[in-house]
Structure 1
Amino acid sequence: MQENTVLQLRNVTKKIGSRTIVDHLTIDIPRGEVFGLLGPNGAGKTTTIRMIVGLISMTEGEVYINGTSVKQNFELAMSQIGAIVENPEMYKFLTGYQNLVHFARMHEGVTKERIDEVIELVGLKNRIHEKVKRYSLGMRQRLGVAQAILHKPKVLILDEPTNGLDPAGIRELRDYLRQLSQDEGIAVVVSSHLLSEMELMCDRVAIIQNGKLIDVRSLVEAKSTAALKRVIVEVDSVEAALQALTPIAEKTSPAITSEGIELQAEREQIPEITALLVHAGVKIYSVRSMNKSLEDQFLEMTRSEQIV
């Protein structure tokens, strides 16, 4: 195991009867990273998380938490994980602070100072002494995260954490997870089927379909090094523009859309595109260049997987 790696999945498999729910997943996740498990409903994300945290057994494979085998040393492995699977469950008749004190008793060495530290970290300082029944869903999510990191785990696992949150709550949670990964050095594992949120939240994502790992993709690299971009050119005559772009049609695949002419082109090709249009007398009103979104990439990969 590499020194920086805190969560390893090795050929993790779950079968129920003749059906394979999760099929030989192998993933390495380092400390300080927000890592996404991305896939449609039924892809095997929650089953994978349940195996990592020991709620269900693995048919094959192994999970290591900070080098400790979940199968061989379950208690030590679990002591290094914080998790919220589905919704965080709290005692609603107690205050947020009383809930944290209650959960702190389940772990050795959680001091009052540590409780105050996590309250500050998740932004609940002004509301922590109110009863949980008065909390919004977003505040309960934050309290759940506070409870999960009380014992300074190496790995924080959140299953569909944005479910039921409004846009402001989603953004708050996203910011807290980023802060946690940086300030506490925790590896944060998040599962979701919401592509747009994963794109904003995660450093890398594992794309899972039908229980299989299709790809592990760095979102930072994908944003900065995407070769082909969608280029939308708004013109006065789409027919004339299409004709003018004939010399580069094979390389850029120009097509008429409701927005104008759409091409697949590298950034360096844009001056050539505009020069061809100007030379043909086509009036250009705007040129927009956009990276392929995670959604576009995900749909391309899952479609190709289905075809195979």
Structure 2
Amino acid sequence: MAHSTVLEVINVTKKINNRTIIDQISFSVNKGEIFGFLGPNGAGKTTTIRMIVGLMSINEGDIIINGTSISKNFEKAMLSIGAIVENPEMYKYLTGYQNLVHYARMIPGITNARIDEVTELVGLKDRIRDKVKRYSLGMRQRLGIAQALLHKPTILILDEPTNGLDPAGIRELRDYLRILANEGTSTLVSSHLLSEMELMCDRVAIIKEGKIIDVKSLKEPTQQLNQVVFEVDQPEKAIQFITQQYEDNEIEKLKNGFIIQINREDVPKINMVLVQEGVLVYSIHSTSKSLEDQFLELTN
């Protein structure tokens, strides 16, 4: 395992009543990385997260956290993890601060200064003395993240953390996770909001029926060819001329133009051909498949 890898899931399998729920999955999360975990309902996301945090046993394989196997030294491995599985559970009759103090007593070495530090990080400084029953869902999510960060984990694991959050709350969460990533804390996050995952994550793993079917980088180009849209006044005439020179390229006719898969350097060449043949070109812009498009293709 590379030194920069903080979490490694190795050929993990989970069976319940002779039914395989998770089937030989493997992936890794690097230091300072926000790693997304995507899949349809019932694909196995929460089951995998439960195994990582020790809430469910593993039938086969292993999970390594900062070089420590959870099967060989569970307590040491768990010290590196901060997690919210499903919804953060808090004592609603206590204040936010009292909740953090209560959790801090479970792990030696957490000071009042550390409580103040995480409170400010998640933006609850002005409301931390209020009772949790007065908190909005977004504020409870923030308090849950503060609690998960108390012991300075190297990896934060969040299962559907955006559930119930308004757009402002989702944006705040995304900003918090990026701040943590810049400080070296990794995050494994599952969500159904694909557009948010595309903005939030560095890489994503897509799971379907208990198997990892793809791991994608969202920070690097995913294809050598660019998908370029040409808006023209005579689409059929334009496609006729372009097909003669780019017969092996995929071309799709649009109402006011066409889309073609080409290299970047071919864009001005095609524009020149169209102009020479008397086709008016109104606009040229590149496009790419969104994470949602790619997800739906992979999961049918």
TM-score above 0.5 = yes
Distance 1:97 1:259 in 2: 59
Question: 51-60 or 119-128: which moved more?
Answer: 119-128
Residue 219 of structure 1 corresponds to 218
Instruction: Report the CA distance between 1:227 and its aligned residue.
Output: 1.8
Residue 147 of structure 1 aligns with which residue? 147
Q: Secondary structure at the residue paired with 1:144?
A: helix
Q: Which residue of 2 aligns with 1:28?
A: 28
- Counterpart of 1:281 in structure 2 is 278
Kindly report which structure 2 residues correspond to 1:221-236, keeping only aligned pairs within 5 A, or say none.
221-222=220-221, 226-236=223-233
Q: Which residue of 2 aligns with 1:298?
A: 295
CA contact (8 A) 1:228 1:291 kept: no
* Letter matched to residue 297 of structure 1: Q
Indicate whether 1:194 and 2:184 are aligned: no
Rate the CA distance shift 1:103–1:259 in 2: closer, same or farther, 3 A: farther
1-side partners of 2:202 and 2:26: how far apart? 18
Distance 1:11 1:159, change over 3 A: same
Q: How many angstroms does 1:24 deviate by?
A: 0.9
Partner of 1:264: 261
Q: Distance in 1 between matches of 2:255 and 2:295?
A: 24
Q: Within 5 Å, which residues of 2 pair with 1:10-49?
A: 10-49=10-49
8 Å contact from structure 2 (residues 235, 255) kept in 1? no
> What SS does structure 2 have at the residue aligned with 1:252?
coil
Equivalence for 2:88:
88
CA distance in 2, matches of 1:277, 1:127: 62
What fraction of aligned residue pairs are identical, expressed as a percent?
Answer: 65
Judge conservation of contact 2:177–2:187 (CA < 8 Å) in 1: yes
> Displaced runs of 4+ in structure 1, greater than 6 A?
none
Given residue 16 of structure 2, which amino acid in structure 1 is its aligned partner? I
- Aligned residues of 2:227 and 2:286 also touching (Cα < 8 A): yes
**Structure 1's 255 and 58: CA in aligned 2 closer, same or farther, altered over 3 A?**
same
Q: Is the CA contact (8 Å cut-off) linking 2:80 and 2:155 kept in structure 1?
A: yes
Q: What secondary structure, in the 3-state scheme, does the structure 2 residue paired with 1:108 have?
A: coil
Count how many residue pairs are aligned between Structure 1 and Structure 2. 300
Offset at residue 91 of structure 1 (A): 1.7
Equivalence for 2:162: 162
Please give the root-mean-square deviation of Cα atoms over the aligned residues, in Å: 1.7
Name the CA distance, whole Å, in 1 between partners of 2:207 and 2:225: 24
TM-score (norm 2): 0.94
What is the CA deviation profile of residues 209-230 of structure 1, one whole-angstrom value per residue up to 9, with x for unaligned ones?
11111222221123xx632222
The structural deviation recorded for 1:294 is: 2.1
Instruction: Give the gaps of 5 or more residues in structure 2.
Output: none
SS at match of 1:275: helix
> Is 1:210 aligned with 2:209?
yes
Report the equivalent of 1:306.
none
| Aligned 1:76-155 pairs, distance under 5 A | 76-155=76-155
- State the distance in 2 between where 1:115 and 1:146 align: 8
Do the aligned residues in 2 keep the contact of 1:226 with 1:291 (CA within 8 Å)?
no
Instruction: Give the SS at the match of 2:271.
Output: helix
Task: Compute the displacement of 1:268 (Å).
Answer: 1.5
Distance 1:277 1:31, change over 3 A: same
Structure holding more helix per residue: 1
- Stretch deviating more after TM superposition (274-283 or 50-59): 274-283
- Opposite residue 161 of structure 1, the aligned amino acid is P
How far does residue 88 in structure 1 lie from its aligned partner after superposition? Answer: 0.9
